[in-house]
Amino acid sequence: MSHSMSGVDATQRLICEVFASLLDAGASQVRVRVVLKQGSPTTAWFYSYVNHDWHKAARMVTDPVQAAAVQEQMEFIGTKGQGEAWHCRQHGAADIADTDIAFHSEKIHEHLGTALPSLLLGMLFRDNHDSRDDNRQVRRGSAGH
């Protein structure tokens, strides 16, 4: 399934805003659980790991199209596996797909607050926001100038 760039950006912003609120509240790990019905996403739940237990967040995605977009972004993060300040693990069953992301608190702690969603956007979705890891952009902009 293909999404427009603005749709992808909106989904990434949503994910990072939810993650930031969970991290601001004291979590060091987050989980996205995409609920599947006959293999298709129906909803997406967000969880935080606090005091050795998973806690379901109030915010969720109930629109199947948006849930599919969240699942697509979780798959993208899963292909990266880890970054300088995080690592992820994916697991699931026939009716769920979980992505757990553990953040290195020393890298996150100094950015808690209003700047955290932007920081997370750059950390988790670097290919879309940071040309250092995107070799496709090397010299491409200067070819026609």
* pLDDT digits 0-9 by tens, 79-115: 988 888 899 999 999 999 999 999 987 777 766 777 8
Q: Cα–Cα distance between 87 and 69 in angstroms, integer?
A: 21
Residue 114 is predicted with a pLDDT of 75
The model's pTM is 0.81
Entry field: residues in the chain: 145
19, 23, 41, 130 from 117: Cα distances, Å = 8, 10, 25, 15
Q: Cα–Cα distance between 35 and 68 in angstroms, integer?
A: 10
Confidence tier at 143 by pLDDT (50, 70, 90): very low
pLDDT in tens, 112-127: 777 889 989 998 987 5
Residue 77 is predicted with a pLDDT of 94
SS3 6: helix
pLDDT in tens, 13-50: 999 999 999 998 989 899 999 999 999 999 999 999 99
Residue 5 is predicted with a pLDDT of 56
Q: Cα–Cα distance between 75 and 136 in angstroms, integer?
A: 21
Quickly list DSSP for 79-143.
HH-EETTEEEEEEEETTEEEEEEEE-HHHHGGG-STTHHHHHHHHHSHHHH-GGG-GGGTTTTTT
Residue 133 has pLDDT above 50, yes or no: no
Residue 132 is predicted with a pLDDT of 44
Residue 136 has pLDDT above 60, yes or no: no
